[in-house]
């Protein structure tokens, strides 16, 4: 017992904290005896304490469980995404949930403050991964891989302010596809865009648009417009807001808040409000100022080639060269792209979600070199599908349409109308399981037939096998269709075959 008397405020707080802590935490650990008597005593000790305890059952801020209904939707979405990645010949990779802290700290610039650190418990300093791209670069450098086409589906963690309404959480799933390696220009880049289109079409989310731009073109535009180099980053992030704000507002921000000369802002405006197809690329090639800028020319040349390939892939009409696309440009070095859903006016009214982009990516040739001990570069291009946003949209649409989701795949229910038939049910269901048939039974010795049939209807189980005394004597089983309520008698030995026939 600590001596009372003059204690610092903090010491008092600590003392009080100890007293307030649910003693259950200590009690449960100490109950190793576990004899009946001991357990009863413990239970009576726990009860009054628990009601006082201030322990709230919840998941941590910005995270959530997924119920069986939600899992069905998520798995459908992920299956579709993964099936597309596989169709394009990608190998799958997985990395640990946390990395050495030093692996991550240098990579995210200002966002480093959003990384979840693990407590220093005497071992290595660790942090939860912030995305799947940096672990990929680490993997490539670590294993000295020069070429790889991989996909990675996994959770990442960011200590952002969660905005649940926009589907933004602290723990969320990313689906990344990347092609690493030195190849002939723009072929892998085009394939990434093809993949994005296939996935967004396959998910049937409605019309979408992919905006495309290039880091070098943006830099070139800023240079010819007279943006001071030190302001590139700042002006970039203003320009990026053009999808949400008007040009007037963006211009105002650049001039008033970021100290850009008004003439320079106007020149920028002439460029960044442009968007179009390959004709815009050609138009810009002719631009008297821009064609003097080497970087911009490189970027435009690559975009032209890209559009050629996209046309051969049959997706050029879904892609728009948009000079206002800037995105987080920290590690991108070439083409960048972002997919947005095009809402119909009706949808815009119904849906409260405004999720922004649903997929994005670009080329990043310098990242692996940052990990490689000798700075060897491995050029990379890739994409990330925003499944959480997609999931929110699909979930909301399903609610709106009141769609019912089956959360189990059970095909046959084993039932009985009589008492004392548990053993027959157990034998029969084992036969079905051993034949690979998905079957369930009620965990009751003597369930009522009506209860069992109701369960089948609620769970949309298509078939019921009913065993009764009479049938058993004669060697028969009743097979009943839940939907039609029709019953037939089947010989016991033909049951499996008949069930399989009906289910195929």
CB of 422 to other proteins, least distance (A): 7
In sign, the C-alpha dihedral spanning 350, 353, 354, 358 is negative
Nearest to 77 by CA among 328, 397, 324, 334: 397
Give backbone dihedrals phi and psi of 258, rounded to 5 degrees, phi first.
Answer: -115, 5
Instruction: Calculate the alpha carbon distances from 281 to 191, 276, 284, 456 in Å.
Output: 20, 8, 5, 61
3-state secondary structure string across 457-470: HHHCCCEEEECCHH
- Residue 261: both structure tokens together: 């000369």
Q: Sheet holding 487-491: strands in order across?
A: 439-441, 412-415, 463-466, 476-481, 487-491
Q: 171 vs 351, which CB is nearer to other proteins?
A: 171
Question: Which of 63, 49, 60 is CA-nearest to residue 20?
Answer: 49
459, two tokens:
């769970």
User: Could you tell me the smallest distance in angstroms from the CB atom of residue 315 to other proteins?
Assistant: 8
Query: 284 or 461: whose CB is closer to other proteins?
Result: 461
- Would you say 184 or 486 has its CB closer to other proteins? 184
**In whole angstroms, what is the distance from residue 53 CA to residue 22 CA?**
6
Residue nearer to other proteins on the CB measure, 355 or 367: 367
- Looking at beta carbons only, is 99 or 284 nearer to other proteins? 99
Closest CB 32 distance from other proteins, rounded Å: 3
Nearest-approach distance from CB 288 to other proteins, in angstroms: 28
Residue 140 CA to residue 152 CA, distance in Å, equals: 14
Binding-site annotation, residues for L-histidine:
131-133, 158, 174, 178, 327, 331-332
Residue 76: Cβ-neighbour burial (10 angstroms; 0-12, 13-18, 19+): middle
Cite the annotated binding site by residue number.
131-133, 158, 174, 178, 327, 331-332
Our CB check for other proteins shows the closer of 11 and 100 to be 100
Q: What is the dihedral of CA 311, 312, 313, 314, to 10 degrees?
A: 50
Residue 133: CB minimum distance to other proteins, A: 14
Q: What would the two tokens of residue 495 be?
A: 């049951």
Q: Which is nearer to other proteins, 284 or 425 (CB)?
A: 425
Least Å from the CB of residue 296 to other proteins: 19
Paired sense of beta strands 319-322 and 275-276, if any: antiparallel
Q: Considering the complex, what minimum distance in angstroms separates the CB of residue 89 from other proteins?
A: 4
């Amino acid at each position: 017992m600590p001596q009372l008397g003059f204690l610092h405020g903090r010491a008092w707080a600590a003392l009080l904290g100890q007293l307030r802590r649910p003693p259950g935490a200590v009690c449960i650990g100490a109950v190793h005896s576990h004899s009946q008597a001991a357990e009863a005593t413990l239970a009576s000790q726990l009860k009054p304490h628990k009601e006082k305890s201030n322990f709230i059952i919840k998941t941590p801020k910005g995270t959530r469980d997924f119920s069986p209904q939600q899992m069905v939707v998520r798995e459908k979405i992920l299956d579709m995404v993964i099936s597309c990645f596989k169709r394009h010949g990608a190998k799958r990779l997985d990395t640990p949930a946390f990395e050495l802290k030093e692996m991550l700290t240098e990579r995210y610039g200002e966002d480093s403050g959003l990384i979840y650190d693990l407590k220093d418990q005497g071992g290595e300093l660790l942090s939860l991964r912030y995305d799947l791209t940096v672990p990929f670069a680490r993997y490539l450098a670590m294993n000295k891989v020069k070429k790889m086409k991989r996909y990675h589906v996994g959770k990442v963690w960011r200590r952002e302010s969660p905005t649940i309404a926009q589907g933004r959480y602290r723990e969320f799933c990313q689906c990344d596809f990347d092609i690493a390696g030195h190849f002939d220009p723009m072929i892998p880049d085009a394939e990434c865009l093809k993949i994005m289109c296939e996935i967004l079409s396959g998910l049937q989310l409605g019309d979408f648009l992919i905006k495309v731009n290039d880091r070098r073109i943006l830099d070139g535009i800023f240079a010819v417009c007279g943006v001071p180099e030190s302001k590139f980053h700042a002006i970039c992030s203003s320009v990026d807001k053009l999808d949400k704000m008007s040009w007037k507002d963006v211009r105002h921000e650049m001039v008033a808040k970021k100290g850009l000369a008004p003439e320079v802002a106007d020149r920028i405006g002439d460029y960044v409000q442009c968007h179009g197809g390959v004709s815009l690329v050609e138009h810009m090639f002719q631009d008297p100022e821009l064609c003097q800028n080497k970087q911009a020319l490189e970027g435009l040349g690559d975009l032209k080639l890209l559009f050629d390939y996209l046309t051969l892939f049959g997706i050029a009409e879904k892609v728009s060269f948009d000079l206002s696309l800037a995105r987080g440009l920290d590690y991108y070095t070439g083409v960048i792209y972002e997919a947005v859903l095009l809402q119909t006016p009706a949808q815009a009214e119904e849906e409260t979600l405004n999720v922004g982009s649903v997929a994005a990516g670009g080329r990043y040739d310098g990242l692996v070199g940052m990990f490689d001990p000798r700075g060897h570069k491995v050029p990379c291009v890739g994409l990330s599908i925003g499944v959480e946003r997609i999931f929110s949209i699909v979930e909301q649409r399903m609610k709106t349409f009141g769609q019912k989701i089956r959360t189990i795949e059970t095909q046959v229910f084993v039932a009985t109308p009589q008492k004392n038939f548990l053993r027959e049910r157990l034998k029969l269901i084992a036969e079905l399981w051993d034949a690979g048939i998905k079957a369930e039974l009620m965990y009751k010795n003597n369930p009522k037939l009506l209860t069992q049939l109701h369960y089948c209807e609620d769970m949309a189980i298509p078939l019921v096998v009913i065993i009764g005394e009479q049938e058993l004597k004669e060697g028969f089983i009743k097979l009943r269709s839940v939907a039609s309520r029709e019953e037939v008698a089947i010989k016991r030995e033909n049951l499996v075959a008949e069930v399989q026939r009906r289910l195929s």
